[in-house]
Chain A
Amino acid sequence: MIPVLLILIPLVTGLVGFFLKSVTGAKNWSLFSSLVTLVISLWALTLAKDSELLHTDVAWLPDLGSRFSVGMDGLSTILSLLTAVSFPLIFVATWRDEYRGKSWNFYALMLLSQAGLMGVFLATDALLFYFFWELALIPVYFLCSQWGGERRIAVTFKFFVYTFVGSLLMLIGLLWIYSKTPDHSFSMKSFYAMRSVISAKDQVWLFWLLFTAFAIKMPIWPLHTWQPDTYEQSPNATTMVLSAIMVKMGLFGVIRWLAPVLPVGTWAWGDTVSGACIIGMIYASLVAIKQDDLKRLIAYSSIAHVGLMCLAIFATTESGMQGVMIQMFNHGINILGMWIVVDLIERQTGTRKISQLGGLAQTAPVLAILLVVVALANVALPLTNAFIGEFLLFSGVFTSTATQFGVVFTVVAGLSIILSAVYTLNMIQRVFYGSTNTLTAKVTDIRLNEKVVLVAIVGLILFVGVYPKPMLDLTKETAEFILSKMNYKL
């Protein structure tokens, strides 16, 4: 019931949004819709884990063994919550952004992408999951191509082709597994039962069919090349959706549809993937230091953070798995904060070049304070939410028995945290301190709507950082469940 509502509300309101024909109407409408979604998603948190409201399972394609089956466990709850929290924040924060042409279509497409994302996180049927996986992409494709920067068409198309190739390969993989299920079913249960049925030899090559799709979405080095371009060229609101929520689709896919289904393949390629993650983290951090464009800097920093999360999945430890689930939420919130600040600066000064900015702390003191908190969370300082997440991730990788290189991975990954401090603090210093110039002198401090959003984000950062227990409770059971499935001997 609740999962269906979480998908249906943005879907229906999004479709209605195409016919609003008024900008303010569309803004109010989309904010209203996203708030309703948020309320329902919060309601889901209050329910008991075995509540019937959290699951829906109706016949869809009986001949194909696929059902419209959606449900919420710890993992999908936390990610659907992230989706539900992000959208109202995005709408409020970008309230003053203007979009050319029929801008109500922008808000309608945003809501449709929310519906697609919700579907991805809530589906418990592999074919349904694939359906939403592709559907989430289409509205984003239109958003970026229509309202993006100068090179938007080519860049967005590169993004589209990358993910389309990945998802088609994933389709082949899912079909192969389905064709081997004894009961011819796409259900999660049947897929998880296959983990001991599929031979080790098959798991080893099947792994790549599925993982390519997820690795592109995350993205993992060397499949990341679409990401900085797309983030840079997309309209800010869409970049927020992409980086706060959409990259989590890749991580989610590995946790839900890859590791428990093909545990031997996951184990066999664990070191290879972890190696790629490590290289990507260091590489992205080094590139981030050199960036002059704020959006590209954050894009590369996101590659580094996601690499760490992926690393922890393959470590196959409880704290690592729990850390990934919590850190997915935290990273979404933190990066949202960063983007909102970038959006503010770009709207007021008309530039994103770090070299052209400076002294913003004098003209916008409140913004500076709030940004510093977000930035410290980005560096994972204690008392911030990312500290909890990354601490769990590191301890998970360090104690991993799935790999013999746990210590090496931890040390090199630790290096990337230091590098992240370098580029984040360097960015703050050059943008907010120093002397003002003609561009930054006329900047005014943040207004009410932005203040509300940033305060909410900072509040979430500190709340989770100080009192992470609800998050830990939420994810504990699911993490244990996934890990039990990743142990192929059982």
Chain B
Amino acid sequence: MNAIILSAVWGIIMMFSGIVTKSKTAIRNTAIIGLALLLIGNYADMMGYHLVTMEVHKMLYFDTFGLLGNSIAFASTLLLVLLSGRDMEKVGHNLAEYFALIFFVLCGISLVTTFNSLLMLFLGIEIISIPLYILTGSDKKNLKSNEAALKYFLMGSFSTGLMLLGIAFLYGASPMGSFAVDELWTAKPQVSPLMLSGILLLLISMSFKVSAAPFHFWTPDVYDGAPTVFTSFMATIVKVSIFVGFIRLFDEGFGQGAAQWQIFVAIITAATLFIGNITAVFQQSVKRMLAYSSIAQAGFMLLGLLSLTGIAKQGIILYAAAYSLATIGIFAILLRMKDYTFEGFNGLAKRQPLLAATCTIFLLSLAGIPLTGGFFAKYYMLMSVVSTGKFMWLAIFAVLCAAVSAYYYFRVIQAMYFKDGEGGTEVEPSAGFKGLLVLLAALILVLGVFPQTLLHQLTEMIYTW
């Protein structure tokens, strides 16, 4: 509850901060303080200290899974703002508004991660989406940014419509006429057609939001067109948080009838892995490659949705952290580059050894090489599928796709280390920037050797609730 209240209030504070001061540094610092408070507030929630105790009528349900998901989202946003806050200033004049919108997105995220009623899920998704439409189009003078925003808006509203339809179906099909996800399932062995179509509609609309194939067509254009720092935000924090909600919805709501819909998830997973990885291979721009790579990574996260075991839930938390940290790091470096193509990275290791070294760790983590958090993220996902005993073909397909992904991640490493060229940053990065990158890389390595440091929060904290 702390997170929802704090993020909404701080969003309003940010909105008015633009009136009080014109100093960009002051605005940015306010946002950083807000994010830090958010993180602390959310952690306090996990420890059992609540700002307010409110009767939520089972609309929300605060468990460690959702709250830890929140923590990852807030911590990642904090790191993103620390790393790339200055790049946000270059987008346009309305810095305070950008931060306000980000806080509203975070408010939506805290609803989606802890919802217990389909209405709350819908509300959360909308609160996330609408500010994102604006952020996508925030580079007002850029035609591509405008196009991306319009495209995102049209496709996004359509998928929201589908979601509402699905919710209505489910409401109709539920035995007691309830929106609460844990009361949806009728104990009957046979699922009614109305219920199944409701589940499928929700599956489709959620797949759209996490850009799973074949509902991914908006992703590359939107990620490419949006200002890069907001792409970074969308591709990491927003995506993984919606995944937390996605898992929650299917686990709490439809987990008992998994056999009925699993095959659809399996098909979506296979398609996402295939399309994301294969298309990423052909990209010339690192930014666009990262857009497709985010689709490919979503495919791996979908494996957790398929199996829905305890391991899968742990895995999605780990995946969220490892993937967000690595991608934010790469985007932060990309933002400083003169040229966004692969050639732009040529010879970076000679000019910026530290940037190249940390970038290598991020890329290795995305590729899933041991000693990085990305390895255990993939490990948990594969383990969750293998332990169910079904869908072995999908696990094998997934690792073959992971091998393909090595191709485009290593292309960046090859460019940085083994090719000569004029690739470099626009200005010399500050020591603080470099220090943060090292911190990010260190976090990824810690997750890669002791993933338990994060996951123990799941099991230890649940008793304090």
Contacts and interface: CB of A to CB of B under 8 A. Distances in A.
A145 interface: yes
Contacts of A135: 370-371
Contact of B403 (A62, A146, A152, A165): A165
A145 B403 contact: no
Contacts of B370: 130-131, 134-135
Interface in A145-174: 145-146, 152-153, 157, 160-161, 164-165, 168-169, 171-172
B410 A160 contact: yes
A138 interface: yes
B403 A168 contact: yes
B142 interface: no
B438 interface: no
Contact of B386 (A165, A168, A169, A176): A176
Given A161-B406, A165-B400, A179-B383, A152 B452 contact: no
Nearest to B380: A64
A175 B396 contact: no
A490 interface: no
B33 interface: no
A172 B382 contact: yes
A171 B382 contact: yes
B202 to A, nearest CB: 30
B414 A157 contact: yes
Contact of B371 (A131, A164, A172, A175): A131
Given A135-B370, A160-B406, A175-B383, A168 B399 contact: yes
Contacts of B194: none
Contacts of B62: none
B387 A179 contact: yes
B452 A62 contact: yes
Given A63-B455, A135-B370, A145 B383 contact: no
B403 A164 contact: yes
Interface in B208-244: none
B451 interface: yes
Contacts of A179: 383, 386-387, 389
Contacts of B369: 134, 138
B452 A168 contact: no
A40 to B, nearest CB: 24
Interface string A118-147: 000000000000110011001000100110
Contact of A175 (B382, B406, B407, B450): B382
Given A63-B452, A157-B410, A152 B418 contact: yes
Contacts of B61: none
B364 interface: yes
A61 interface: yes
Given A61-B451, A62-B452, A134-B370, A175 B403 contact: no
B290 interface: no
A261 to B, nearest CB: 16
B402 interface: yes
Contacts of A176: 386, 392
B359 to A, nearest CB: 14
Contacts of A157: 407, 410, 414
Contact of B452 (A61, A142, A171, A175): A61
Nearest to B395: A172
B414 A175 contact: no
Nearest to A141: B410
B418 to A, nearest CB: 5
Interface residues of A, number: 27
Interface in A373-418: none
A164 B406 contact: yes
Interface in B358-391: 364, 369-371, 375, 379, 382-383, 386-387, 389
A477 to B, nearest CB: 31
A153 B413 CA distance: 11
A162 B455 CA distance: 33
B92 to A, nearest CB: 40
A348 to B, nearest CB: 27
Nearest to B402: A168
B407 A161 contact: yes
B380 to A, nearest CB: 9
Contacts of A145: 414, 417-418
A154 to B, nearest CB: 9
A61 B387 CA distance: 18
A146 B406 contact: no
A176 B390 CA distance: 11
Contacts of B395: 172, 175
Nearest to B357: A18
Contacts of B400: 165, 168
Contacts of B406: 160-161, 164
Interface in B429-465: 450-452, 455
B407 A146 contact: no
Nearest to B399: A168
A134 B369 CA distance: 7
A169 B396 contact: yes
Contact of B417 (A146, A169, A175, A209): A146
A172 B396 contact: yes
A28 B418 CA distance: 26
Contacts of A138: 364, 369
B415 to A, nearest CB: 10
Contacts of B386: 172, 175-176, 179
A209 B402 CA distance: 16
Contacts of A178: 383
Contacts of A171: 379, 382, 399
Interface in A171-218: 171-172, 175-176, 178-179, 209
Contacts of B399: 165, 168-169, 171-172
A153 B414 CA distance: 7
B298 to A, nearest CB: 19
Contacts of A209: 396
B54 to A, nearest CB: 34
Nearest to A128: B370
A176 B375 CA distance: 17
A58 B96 CA distance: 52
A175 B386 CA distance: 7
A167 to B, nearest CB: 9
Given A134-B369, A135-B370, A168-B399, A142 B382 contact: no
A134 B370 CA distance: 7
A152 to B, nearest CB: 7
Contacts of B419: 153
Most B CB within 10 A of own CB, among A145, A146, A168: A168
A171 B382 CA distance: 9
B318 to A, nearest CB: 11
Interface of B: 364, 369-371, 375, 379, 382-383, 386-387, 389, 392, 395-396, 399-400, 402-403, 406-407, 410, 414, 417-419, 450-452, 455
Given A62-B452, A171-B379, A175-B379, 17 more contacts: A61-B451, A61-B452, A131-B371, A138-B369, A153-B418, A153-B419, A160-B406, A160-B410, A165-B399, A168-B399, A168-B402, A169-B396, A171-B382, A175-B382, A175-B395, A176-B392, A179-B387
27 contacts: A61-B451, A61-B452, A130-B370, A131-B371, A134-B370, A134-B375, A135-B370, A135-B371, A142-B417, A145-B418, A146-B417, A153-B414, A153-B419, A157-B414, A164-B406, A165-B400, A165-B403, A168-B402, A171-B382, A172-B382, A172-B395, A175-B383, A175-B387, A175-B395, A176-B386, A176-B392, A179-B389
Which 7 A-B pairs have CB atoms at the shortest separation, nearest pair first?
A168-B399, A179-B387, A165-B403, A175-B386, A131-B370, A134-B370, A145-B418
